[in-house]
Every structure is written in structure tokens, then in C-alpha cells.
Chain A
Amino acid sequence: MTTKKNYLRPIDFKHGHIDMTHGAGGRAAAQLVNELFARAFDNEYLNQGHDGALLPFPTGGRLVMATDGHVISPLFFPGGDIGCLSVHGTVNDVAMSGAKPLYLAASFILEEGFALADLKRIVESMAAAARDAGVPIVTGDTKVVEKGKGDGVFISTTGVGVVPDGLCIDGRQARVGDVILVSGTMGEHGVAVMSLRESLEFETAIESDTAALHTLVQAMLQALPDPGALHVLRDPTRGGLATTLNEIATQSQVGMAIEEALIPVLPQVEAACELLGLDPLYVANEGKLIAICAPEVADTLLAAMRAHPLGQGAQRIGTVTQDAHCFVQMSTRFGGRRVVDWLSGEQLPRIC
């Protein structure tokens, strides 16, 4: 009698669900990693199969590292999902130092009972996002928590990149007189997500703007004879444009003067915000950046942004001012002036 070859029944991604064995570190867990994660993310570093990935690192330059947890609900929304969002988010965080992102790590906390079909969809979306960005997911981890202790899946991503010596782009670098630019229209991600939440459903063509911005950043740096003229880069995610500008103002100890009429917002986003009682200035973006630069390079930078697919809607929206109170002041379309403050608490839709 011959011994049958080892047979491992393939995971049923159509109908299967996560159970506690998938996080136990045993055969089932290994099978999930092989059949799903490794197959989707597939790169030479991940394929080493070690706990940690052995990675080449360029000589010269400094290391940039960023990490982000993703707990978004719902998991799938118009224009994206938690998977590609987790890739874009961390790639962008690394890119906001002017760094070239090199590698990503991803850790998954899965809830018992989570549908494997959904997990596969998310993982494949992540893999596509990583491939398109040219940033491989080189190592990862999976854990499972009991039903009721998770929200389907939580994803945490960490990214590393390299920034050339001498380039110093961070929130403390804004100077009085600098020009403030945004790379495109505001508020799409938050509205796209809120449109699905219970009680706030409506039909709309608004899609999340989630995107990896590192190639836009590189294009901007390359367009400048002196990259040092680009002082600050930041992506206005949670809390929106308003909160991010306030963060930078406080870090750099400056004020800001922006013009409402110059801030680009799609008409449908504006309308959706009216209906929901939200202010687009405070709604999250996942594929846009704010750039603060020396005034003499503003036009060059704007042209470079507009020439890139992700910066076509770039606009100049204001300037950095001298202000001991670090207020962000806005001239309204209406002709008045008001302070644009930090986001207070969670932005609950107004009824009033």
C-alpha cells in the first residue's frame, strides 16, 4: 500500500469564516498565510519566510518610519476599502517627510467569524495598492480575537523610507510669508464613508480619494532647483484641512490666512455636507496633501503638482502669517472673517 501524498484541503474563500485556529500559530494559521497573504503580497522579501524580513537599505540619507492603525467602518466604501486605505495611509505618512517609501509591514487583527471572502477582497486590494505604489509588503502578522471583540478586521501598517540628507520637511518649518497649497478638492473620503453609515444613507457619486501620494511628492521635489524651499508637507486626514493647518500653525508657531473662495470642494461634496450639517473643512481626505513653501517657488510647485495625475486640482489657498496666537483665519466667501479652529471632539452631523 502506498502512502498517499500529503493533502491539504484548500481554504474555502467563498464560504469560509475566520475561526480561532487561524490565529493559533498552527497549521491552519500557516495555511492562511500561505494561501492568502503570501500569495497576494508575493515579493522576494516576504518569500524569505522569516519572522523578520532581511532588507537592503540604500547608503546615505536618513530613515523615515511611520505607522498607522486602521479601524474604519464600514470596511468597503465607494472608491476603496480598508485594505488599500492602509497601504495609502502609511505610504503617504512616509512620503510627507519627502522620503521615498521602500517597504511596508502589515498586521491584521481578525474577528472570529469574519467572512474569508471579505478578507480575500481586502488582501487583494492591499496587494494591488502596494504593487501600484511600488512598495512591497515584506512582513506581517495575523491574530484572531473572539467574536464581538473586533470589528471584522483591524489593520496596522508600518512603513519605512529614505529621505536625502539635508532635506528637512516637517511641521515646524513653516515661515511667515510662505504660501499654502492644497493638491486638490477637499472632503471626498469622509463624505463617501459617511454616506454608508447607518442612518445617513443617500445616493451619491462621491468616492473616496484614497491614493498613494509619494510619486506626487517626488515630482514636486524634482521640480524645485532647491528642494529646501518646500517647508511642510502633510496629508489632511482625520479632522480635515482645518485641523491639519492648526497642527502646523501650532508646531511652527505661526498664524495662517486662507481664503474660503480658493479652497476647492466638489459641488456634490458641498451639497452632501449641507444635508448632513458638516463643514467640508473638517472632513477627512485620504489622497490629498497640503504643501507650504517659500513664496518664490509657489508657482513652480503649483505647476508641477498640476502636471501630476494626483495634483490636477491643486490650488493656492493662503499664506503663513505672524501670529502669536497661531490662529488660522479665513476670509469667507461672504466677505467676513472668521477663525478656523481645531476640530472639537468628533464631528457629529449637525441637525441644527
Chain B
Amino acid sequence: MCLAIPARVVELLPGMRAIVDLSGVRKDVSIDLVDDAQVGDYVIIHVGYAIGKIDPEEAARTLALFAEMAQIEAAQP
């Protein structure tokens, strides 16, 4: 039961709802559980509800960690 997808908030709607966009596909979801979501934030959507927000700095840090692997690999003789 864990299928959850990161999508970008493009519009806030009344009643704790929002429209999110994933590559041009839009869906109306609840933001009851992430009530501080703002337009431009990326939220994780699960069964029609936003359950968490992506921290862009942490995301970048994680990707850099993967990439660091690559640099170290490349540097090895």
C-alpha cells in the first residue's frame, strides 16, 4: 500500500485541497495532512492525499551522495 508519487503543487483550492501536476497530468488532492503546502512545493501523494513534503536541499544532498560515488569511482586508478 505504499505507492506514493512526488508531484508539484500548482494551485491551492478551498477546503484543504490542491491541484498537483506530474509532467502535465493534473490531479485534485487533499492537503489536509500537509496543511502548510504552498504552490511550487513538491508533495508526496498517496491514495489522493498529500502525506509529506519534499525538502529540496535534502533531495539535492542525496543526489550528490549518489554522484559522489561516481566521482570516487572515476578517480580510482
Contacts and interface: CB of A to CB of B under 8 A. Distances in A.
A and B touch in the complex (CB under 8 A): yes
Interface of A: 201-206, 267-268, 270-272, 274-275, 277, 350-352
A275 B44 CA distance: 11
B61 interface: no
Contact of A203 (B2, B5, B26, B45): B26
Nearest to A272: B25
B25 A351 contact: no
A271 B23 contact: yes
Contacts of A270: 23
Contact of B1 (A205, A206, A274, A351): A351
Interface string B1-39: 111010100000000000000111111100000000000
**Among the interface residues B1, B25, B26, B45, which one has the most CB atoms of the partner chain A within 10 A?**
B25
Interface of B is mostly: strand
B22 A275 contact: yes
B64 interface: no
Q: Which 4 A-B pairs have the closest CB atoms?
A: A271-B23, A271-B22, A202-B27, A203-B26
B2 A202 contact: no
Contacts of B24: 204-205, 267-268, 271
A17 B7 CA distance: 44
Contacts, number: 40
Interface of B: 1-3, 5, 7, 22-28, 45, 47
Contacts of B23: 267-268, 270-271
Given A274-B22, A275-B22, A351-B47, A202 B28 contact: yes
> Counting chain A CB atoms within 10 Å of each CB, which of B1, B27, B28, B47 scores highest?
B27
A205 B28 CA distance: 16
B25 A275 contact: yes
A275 B4 CA distance: 8
Contacts of A267: 23-24
A205 B2 CA distance: 27
Given A202-B27, A270-B23, 8 more contacts: A201-B28, A202-B28, A203-B26, A205-B24, A268-B24, A271-B25, A275-B5, A275-B45
Q: Which of B1, B2, B24, B26 has the largest number of chain A CB atoms within 10 A? A: B24
A204 B3 contact: no
A194 B24 CA distance: 16
A318 B23 CA distance: 27
A203 B22 CA distance: 11
Interface centre among A203, A205, A267 (most CB of B within 10 A): A203
B68 to A, nearest CB: 19
Contacts of B22: 271, 274-275
